[in-house]
Structure 1
Amino acid sequence: MTTSVVSPTERAWALLEQLSDPEIPVVTLRELGILREVREGAAGLEVVITPTYNGCPAMSQIEDDVKAVLAADGLQATVVTQLAPAWTTDWMSHAAREKLRAYGIAPPHACASEKPGSTNVVHFAARTTRSDAVPCPQCGSANTTEISHFGSTACKALYRCLQCMEPFDYFKPY
């Protein structure tokens, strides 16, 4: 008979899998790519998180949630906020994108860095083509328009579907 020994790092990962984003409760921190690493540091367990953008107001809540879920299972950890490399929507899992769509938030397109032939040039005014259209998460129509570049949070833009006339958030690609 073999006995499986679970390390504190493995225990922490298992506990942290359940934590959802405080602003978008249908997706987990891991699915969004915010939860980056759990490691043994010199002072004990460290959990590394990266904000979706610098100054994200949800980070203090995320840090509190991480500490609370671990403490409830007897684990103590330091939460390390890592700003580099900067978070990108490329870190979102496929499951997160599908959960966003089902929740009524249009998931992000691929980042410019993922597009073939990209030169990683900063564009201050986006050119919209039909292939860049943001499909409505309610009816699927590509006949949509941006109402405001900033939606319910700074990482989302506010759109309206011109087919079903419903407003919706679009998680902007970074």
Structure 2
Amino acid sequence: MTAVEEAVAAVRDPEIRVLTIADLGILRGVAEEGGRVTITITPTYTGCPAMDVIRRDVESAARRAGAAEVEVRTVLSPPWSTDWISETGRAKLAAAGTAPPPARTRPGAVALTLTMRCPRCGSADTEELSRFGSTACKSLWRCRSCREPFDSVKAH
């Protein structure tokens, strides 16, 4: 991995600060040719308010790593899916107290979430308080066992 690729992959998501854009799976590629770098990203959903900040941070990281000319491209197809969150990213979410989305057992399967395991105590005795959490891509849950509220990344 080049210095530019490492720098870009390390950019943090502005809404879920424990994840990098590589952990989240929105970094699609980094192509370097001479002093020109083209970085391809995909938003978690169309109209994601964090994309302007991500574009700026990605460009800054690439320039700090030595890229003379930087182009950041947004690609919408195929659309991002929570399946793209890396195992490292899922572990980071859980460690930070946010329930990661359930992994799909096969491609194209629809995830049906009846309950979410509490990232603090592991109990499945939880309830969804609100479909809308601290960001548009999260919902708010509460554990009935340890009584703690927690965010959960919505599967899609």
Q: TM-score, normalised by structure 2?
A: 0.89
1:17 correspondence with 2:12: no
1:44 Cα deviation after fit = 3.4
Q: TM-score, normalised by structure 1?
A: 0.80
1:18-63 per-residue CA deviation (whole Å, 9 max, x = no partner) reads 211111121111011011111247x932100001111111110000
Identify the residue that residue 78 of structure 1 maps to in structure 2. Answer: 71
**How far apart are the structure 2 equivalents of 1:89 and 1:160?**
21
* 8 Å CA contact retained: 1:89, 1:111: no
**How far apart are the structure 2 equivalents of 1:110 and 1:134?**
12
* 8 Å CA contact retained: 1:111, 1:173: no
**How far apart are the structure 1 equivalents of 2:54 and 2:149?**
28
- Work out the number of aligned pairs and report it: 154
Which stretches of structure 1, 4 residues or longer, exceed 6 Å deviation after superposition? none
Larger Rg: 1
Identify the residue that residue 36 of structure 2 maps to in structure 1. Answer: 44
**How far apart are the structure 1 equivalents of 2:96 and 2:113?**
27
* 8 Å CA contact retained: 2:4, 2:66: no
Gaps of 5+ in 1: 1-8
Amino acid at match of 2:52: S
Map 1:95-114 to 2 at 5 A. 95-111=88-104, 114=107
Identify the residue that residue 130 of structure 2 maps to in structure 1. Answer: 148
1:135 correspondence with 2:117: yes
Identity over aligned pairs, percent = 45
**How far apart are the structure 2 equivalents of 1:44 and 1:18?**
19
* 8 Å CA contact retained: 1:104, 1:137: yes
